[in-house]
Amino acid sequence: MVQAKKIVIIGPAHPIRGGLAAFNERLARELIAKGHDVQIHTFSFQYPAFMFPGKEQYTSAPAPEGLRIQRSVHSLNPLNWRKTGLEIRRQRPDLVIVAFWIPLMAMSLGSLARIIRKNGHSRIVGLVHNLIPHEKRPGDAALTQFFVNSCHAFITLSREVLRDIRRLTDKPAAYAPHPVYDHFGDTLPTAAARQHLGWDENSRYLLFFGFIRHYKGLDLLLQAMADPRIRAIANLKLVVAGEFYEDRRKYEPLLGPNVILVSDFIPDSDVKFYFSAADLVVQPYRSATQSGISQMAYHFGVPMLVTNVGGLPEIVPDGKAGYVVPPEPNAIAEGILRFLEQPAGQFAAFIKAQQQLYSWGHFVKTLETLQ
């Protein structure tokens, strides 16, 4: 039996919206279920408005029940880092999990970690979603190294990020696959989900889900949808469901009659409808480490088409959970056509088996080896 510990998670959580917040909240629930005392310290101020690419940083949804979330971290205020760090240091948590995903946050998160660890008791584990940013800026390397130097150990969600860690430090580090996002509800019957969304029950639907940035390659997928072989399939539609994090005007000339655009943030309560209604989830990324979208697809039992970049082929083995193709339009079109030729349920057994590997219990067991 694991001894109960006092644990602090530092990173996005309610009322901040998005995948990072969802991850931290779901991790907290798993740790609480294991008997630990868990508190999340999230941001009172995360991004300046001019630096945030989307429409809104915060959700209007009610706070999740059963979680202790404190809005205490100001990403740009050193006086706040000291105040918050001293507060957590005095609490003497056994474990502090610090979520890291972008160098912009390195100074605040790294400073907090340095202040807290001076109590000589708290173990600081960096939860590294991305170490090398998709969109690079001057100073990224120095900022990232500052954060790395502040931690005792690291847990990563892909082997690629683990390799990145190894290039910077020999501190303890472990890889655990990104767990499935299982908090969006159960899979619905396809017909019921499509009726709710107003989709045609007899069509085939591809789904691109999540925020839209250049590295996610939506333009490559839209070009693939313009392939004459794809256009000839009258009942095939691509649904793009997500908020633009860059200028949408560059995508508009690529939108064809076989594309349905839902250009807004999809609330948690609606996620189950989109995935339950889809035949195939497509991730045409130019670069990636791992992807929460893949784990949502696993939870809802939907096969995937991904590009052979970063950690995506680790998560979606070709021919088993879907298909892996190069990140270019013709290859993506070929992958879609290949999928459409397969009988329904071709990947169901493998996807169901993988759900056990991608459990939150497995992730926490790996985390425990670093404490």
Q: Dig out the tokens for 292 from the structure.
A: 């929460």
CA angle in degrees (0–180, nearest 5) for 268-311-170: 110
C-alpha–C-alpha distance, residues 260 and 262, integer Å: 7
Q: What is the pLDDT of residues 275-325, one digit of tens each?
A: 999 999 999 999 877 678 999 999 999 999 999 998 889 889 999 999 999
Domain boundary, last residue among 143, 175, 207: 175
C-alpha–C-alpha distance, residues 204 and 213, integer Å: 25
Q: What is the pLDDT of residues 93-118, one digit of tens each?
A: 999 999 999 999 999 999 999 999 99
Q: What is the pLDDT of residues 209-262, one digit of tens each?
A: 998 989 999 999 999 999 999 999 999 999 999 989 888 999 999 999 999 999
Residue 12 sits in a domain whose CATH number is 3.40.50.11930
- Residue 159, pLDDT > 80, answer yes
Residue 147 carries which DSSP code? H
Residue 185 lies in a domain: no
Number of domains in the chain: 2
Q: Which of 30-34, 133-137, 251-255 has the lowest mean pLDDT?
A: 133-137
With cut-offs at 50, 70 and 90, classify the pLDDT of residue 138.
confident
Q: Within this chain, do residues 163 and 206 fall inside the same structural domain, yes or no?
A: no
C-alpha–C-alpha distance, residues 280 and 208, integer Å: 9
Residue 180 lies in a domain: no
Q: Which domain holds residue 222?
A: 190-356
Strands 95-100 and 69-74: unpaired
- Residue 332, pLDDT > 80, answer yes
Residue 84 lies in a domain: yes
User: Which pLDDT does position 180 carry in this prediction?
Assistant: 87
Sheet of 153-156, strand order:
69-74, 37-45, 6-10, 95-100, 123-128, 153-156, 173-175
Q: Within this chain, do residues 216 and 319 fall inside the same structural domain, yes or no?
A: yes
User: Which pLDDT does position 56 carry in this prediction?
Assistant: 64
pLDDT, the chain, mean: 92
End-to-end CA distance of the chain: 15
Q: Dig out the tokens for 227 from the structure.
A: 């392939």
- Residue 1, pLDDT > 50, answer no
Q: Which residue has the tokens 């160098």?
A: 103
- Residue 162, pLDDT > 90, answer yes
Q: Within this chain, do residues 79 and 227 fall inside the same structural domain, yes or no?
A: no
Q: What is the pLDDT of residues 52-98, one digit of tens each?
A: 555 667 777 889 999 999 999 999 999 999 999 999 999 999 999 99
Neighbours of 321 (CB within 10 A): 21
With cut-offs at 50, 70 and 90, classify the pLDDT of residue 50.
low
- Residue 171, pLDDT > 50, answer yes
C-alpha–C-alpha distance, residues 320 and 316, integer Å: 7
Task: Please give the helix or strand (H or E) that residue 257 lies within, else none.
Answer: none
Q: What is the pLDDT of residues 333-345, one digit of tens each?
A: 999 999 999 888 8
Peptide bond into 177 cis (omega under 30): no
Q: Within this chain, do residues 329 and 249 fall inside the same structural domain, yes or no?
A: yes
- What are the residues whose beta carbons fall under 8 Å from the beta carbon of 258, sequence distance 6 or more? 225, 230, 231, 236, 237, 238
Residue 265 sits in a domain whose CATH number is 3.40.50.2000
Neighbours of 208 (CB within 10 A): 24
With cut-offs at 50, 70 and 90, classify the pLDDT of residue 49.
low
Residue 184 lies in a domain: no
Residue 183 lies in a domain: no
With cut-offs at 50, 70 and 90, classify the pLDDT of residue 189.
very high
Q: How far is CA 134 from CA 106, 138, 208, in A?
A: 16, 13, 19
Q: Which residue has the tokens 């101020």?
A: 45
**Once rounded to an integer, what is the mean pLDDT over residues 175-183?**
88
The residue type at 96: V
Q: What is the pLDDT of residues 291-301, one digit of tens each?
A: 789 999 999 99
